Amino acid sequence: MTYWPLVESYFKNTDLIKQNIESYNLFVEKELPEIIKENQNIESKVGNVELELSNLQVLNPQIIEADGSRRNDVYPMEIRLRDKSYTAPIYVDISLKRKGVVYDHKRSYIGDLPIMVKSNKCLLNGLSKEELVALGEDARDPGGYFIINGSEKIIVNQEILADKRMLVSDMQNGKVAVDVISTKGAFRGKVRILRNPNGLLEVAFPSSPKKLKLFTLLRALGLETFEEFSAAFSNKLEVKNDVLLNFEKMGVESEEEALDKIGKYVAPGQIVSYRLRRAQEVIDSFLLPHIGQAPQKRLMKGYYLATMAERAIERAYGKRTEDDKDNYMNKKIDMSGKLLAQQFRYAFKFFVSDIKFQIDRNIVRRRKLNINTVIRPSALTDRLNFAMATGSWAARLQGVSKYVEKINWLSNYIELRRVRSTLDRTRENYEARDVHGSALGRICPIQTPDGPMCGLAKNLALMSKVTNEIDSDSVQEIVTKLGVVERSKK
């Protein structure tokens, strides 16, 4: 029996670049409005001035002519020939308030967004082969790239450790660590639970005190009695022993005392009420923010930390194996949409800072305050175009964007399906460079360059596909309908 007809049918009906375009479309349709919503209220400390942003809209690609007029019937071929950038203007509704009174309101242009060729926002999307040829385009061009200053650029897929996954690892001197990378919007922080050889559990997260006892934090999160602590863990004998030991060594008697212990580190020298409030703010904002940042989520965070601690205990007693960070079950690939969202979030924060600066400067100089004088679209556009042109990305990533090498027809697909690890290429990292068994069917075991990038720059296997991230709220809604209830105090 021959399988070639099946293989031929797969490649005939499958677009190998579709996942890149879908990732970009998801960014424009979903993540971009979320980024604007995160920063929709801009407040200035001078003059009690506030700006409200709403109703985001990305128009079709446009080009600015020499006389300042805009054309919205521009196609990629014209952009290439004229050494322009294939971008679309971004508009939002802006309300400027001063002391609660609306002084100005208008729909304003805030910057340009790079448009991916063949995406939903591209004018080539949905055209037939005959129409593409009539416009001077290659009918077989898959798209998936950008045009910046007349040059075709791609965003290289980045291979990173998956977030929101518990990874158990052995440390020096008999210690065991369980790490979770928690992400929420632009925030990305690591939460680590460490089990010492003597059985004591410590926890570390951004802005936390050094060598903070886990059970002290659990008490600050709302667990009070020994029965409540025990209920957060399983009934295994080894786990029970460690729970009893850590409960006796906790050193705090109440939730307020536990919060104050954290507050003395995050707000040293302040009064008690301020220390307690700052401790609660740190816990809500920086401890496992992907679970939630509302006070009602503290107990859920406590149970999550208990699960992490239990895995550390099980590893210490040899009941669990160490997690393999090179296994693709513990990795994910950030594609063009996710990476562009990171850069846009960084650029938009600078844009917000620039608005605050312009407001303060106008007030100090006693100039008339209106939206036109405080909005500078170049603050957003320049940072996006600079990142696309140089490959220098947010979070200190380098080489994220690169020129499309169209040596032949297949080289275009190779470039668009390339995967690059974020590990430092100057270090050995032998295990990370080796072919892992879990990469079978996902990553090509042969296609990798010689030299420093060997094993770090790879390509997706021909039949592999990267799925887009889905909203966790929809998953929670499904499991709730299936009868799963949120855990609470007994």
Check pLDDT > 70 for residue 487. no
pLDDT of residue 229: 93
Query: What mean pLDDT comes out for the span 353-362?
Result: 89
- pLDDT per residue over 399-411, tens digit each? 899 998 888 888 8
- Show the CA angle centred on residue 308, arms to residues 207 and 476, nearest 5°: 95
Name which of 372, 364, 370, 353 is nearest 46 in CA terms.
364
Check pLDDT > 70 for residue 1. no
- pLDDT per residue over 102-117, tens digit each? 888 889 999 999 999 9
**Percent of the chain whose pLDDT exceeds 90:** 59
pLDDT of residue 488: 62
- Show the CA angle centred on residue 73, arms to residues 71 and 79, nearest 5°: 80
Q: Which domains are delineated in the chain? A: 15-160+332-459 (3.90.1100.10), 167-316 (3.90.1110.10)
Dihedrals phi, psi of 50, to nearest 5 degrees? -140, 140
- Show the CA angle centred on residue 20, arms to residues 340 and 343, nearest 5°: 5
Query: Confidence class of residue 11 from pLDDT cuts 50, 70 and 90?
Result: confident
Computed over every residue of the chain, the mean pLDDT equals: 90
pLDDT of residue 481: 86
First CA to last CA across the chain, in angstroms? 62
Check: CB of residue 102 under 8 Å from CB of residue 77: no
Q: Tokens for 204, please give them.
A: 């570390």
Count of residues in the chain? 490
Check pLDDT > 90 for residue 148. yes
Check: CB of residue 322 under 8 Å from CB of residue 315: yes
pLDDT of residue 380: 93
Query: Confidence class of residue 476 from pLDDT cuts 50, 70 and 90?
Result: confident
Q: Tokens for 71, please give them.
A: 């054309």
Query: Confidence class of residue 364 from pLDDT cuts 50, 70 and 90?
Result: confident
Neighbours of 68 (CB within 10 A): 6
pLDDT of residue 109: 93
Q: Which residues of 192-214 are buried (b: 16+ CB within 10 A; e: fewer)?
A: bbbbbeebbbbbbbebbbeebbb
| C-alpha to C-alpha distance for 34 and 348, rounded to whole angstroms | 12
**Percent of the chain whose pLDDT exceeds 70:** 99
| C-alpha to C-alpha distance for 77 and 83, rounded to whole angstroms | 10
Check pLDDT > 90 for residue 140. no
